[in-house]
Amino acid sequence: MQMSDITLIGAGPLGLTTALALQRRGHQCVQLVDARPGPGVQRDARSLALSHGSRELLELLDAWPIDAATPITRIRVTQAEGCGETWLDATELALPALGYVVSAEALEAALWARAQAAGLDVRWQQRIIRLQAEGSHVRVHGAGGADFTARLAVRCEGRIESTEADRRHDYAQVALICHATPATPHAGLAHERFTPQGPIALLPEGEGYAVVWTVPSTRAEALLAAPDNEWLATLNAALPTDVKLTALRGRAHYPLTMSLRERPVAARQVWLGNAAQTLHPVAGQGFNLALRDAWQLAEQLTDAPDPGTAALLARYARSRSLDRQTTASFTDLLVRGFGSQLPLASPLRDIGLRGLQALPPLRRFLARRMIWGARAWP
């Protein structure tokens, strides 16, 4: 049985990015396996909020879907129980945009085109059921008896089982997803609105907004059963009075939890993306963190004859610890802090938003942290 240097499980946007980054760093014997029947066969309706830092990484791989990306030039942060607000602006950082909204399908198409040009080995219709480390290699067991061997296996899809999570919290919330038409052009302005029910994000995508609307699980069932006009009226009532949506489409939903593996490596195995950490969507940090993990993994394994050694994987885990821990804690703090109904919580949040707006250095640091992760720290 032929052995590859690295086998990646999952050929979606994260898996393709990881494979291209590894190849760029000298690993030519990289293989991807995916349970799907082929690229683009299954529709992926997600909208991805990518930071400017993620754009920089994808540009280095010649895989940035420039024609499909809507820039976020400003972000307005407000709360429903006060009038304080904070504005983040790309011009303060001398950047063309703070981030971009790209459909998952457009990003995967750009990455797939690059993967084909690079000659990546992708095996479709291969559902993986088990990994087994065996000394100098790892055996990847597929359904139907298909087996692969590699010096390193990287899981780029899946989720963390509750028994595997070192940190886990069920927010008892559901994310309601849709696309909405604004009454006036968005001009690249995104909104992060904190309400007692949960945060709402309006992300500019094309002429409209990709909406991520967080509600308590106890309220989600009634909203999911409501017609579009009722959804729209309820959503508009939770937004700032000067923001109005006129139509919506493409409703979907998913439950919200936080799960984290403290150590995203094991014997000849690495977990990336949702297989390593699942975060609340507030501030849009999850996929950007996954891309930074993938990039750092490729850097750590540059030209390594054996990419699966314990020393290399331990070094990778240490290099990613600060970014992973602080990003998970930051998103968790935002959800819990802005969701608190303790006495004086709302006035204190209002003071915090006003204070952040009055302190440009702190505001710029926060923006850099969201764009580049731990690299923004002094």
Structure confidence at residue 89 as a pLDDT band (50, 70, 90): very high
Looking at 63-77, 144-158, 289-303, which range is the least confident one? 144-158
Structure confidence at residue 146 as a pLDDT band (50, 70, 90): confident
The share of the chain scoring above pLDDT 70, in percent, equals: 99
Structure confidence at residue 38 as a pLDDT band (50, 70, 90): confident
Burial (CB < 10 A; 0-12, 13-18, 19+), residue 94, is exposed
Indicate the average pLDDT of the chain: 94
Q: Are 294 and 316 in contact (CB under 8 A)?
A: no
> Does residue 184 surpass a pLDDT of 60?
yes
> Does residue 1 surpass a pLDDT of 60?
no
pLDDT tens sequence across 243-265: 999 999 999 999 999 999 999 99
Rounded mean pLDDT of 306-323?
97
Stronger pLDDT, 378 or 132, i.e. the higher one: 132
Structure confidence at residue 2 as a pLDDT band (50, 70, 90): low
Structure confidence at residue 3 as a pLDDT band (50, 70, 90): confident
Cβ neighbours of residue 76 closer than 8 Å, sequence gap 6 or more: 85, 86, 87, 189, 190, 191, 192, 240
> Does residue 378 surpass a pLDDT of 60?
no
The share of the chain scoring above pLDDT 90, in percent, equals: 86
Comparing C-alpha atoms, which of 55, 155, 158, 53 is closest to residue 110? 55
Token digits of residue 375: 């690299």
User: What does the pLDDT read at residue 203?
Assistant: 98
State how far the Cα of 84 lies from the Cα of 77, in Å rounded to an integer.
9
Q: Are 270 and 282 in contact (CB under 8 A)?
A: no
**Token pair 């150590």 in the structure block, residue:** 263
Boundaries of every domain in the chain: 3-46+104-165+259-376
Q: Rg of the chain over CA atoms, in angstroms? A: 21
> Does residue 226 surpass a pLDDT of 90?
yes
Cβ neighbours of residue 253 closer than 8 Å, sequence gap 6 or more: 174, 175, 176, 177, 220, 224
End-to-end CA distance of the chain: 48
Cβ neighbours of residue 80 closer than 8 Å, sequence gap 6 or more: 193, 194, 195, 196, 238
Beta-bridge partners for 189: 74
CATH 3.30.930.10 fits 3-46+104-165+259-376, yes or no: no
State how far the Cα of 149 lies from the Cα of 147, in Å rounded to an integer.
7
Q: What is the DSSP string of 248-302?
A: EEEEEEEEEEEEE-SS-EETTEEE-GGGTEE--SGGG-HHHHHHHHHHHHHHHTT
Supply the pTM of this predicted model. Answer: 0.95
State how far the Cα of 275 lies from the Cα of 261, in Å rounded to an integer.
8
Stronger pLDDT, 272 or 339, i.e. the higher one: 272
Structure confidence at residue 339 as a pLDDT band (50, 70, 90): confident
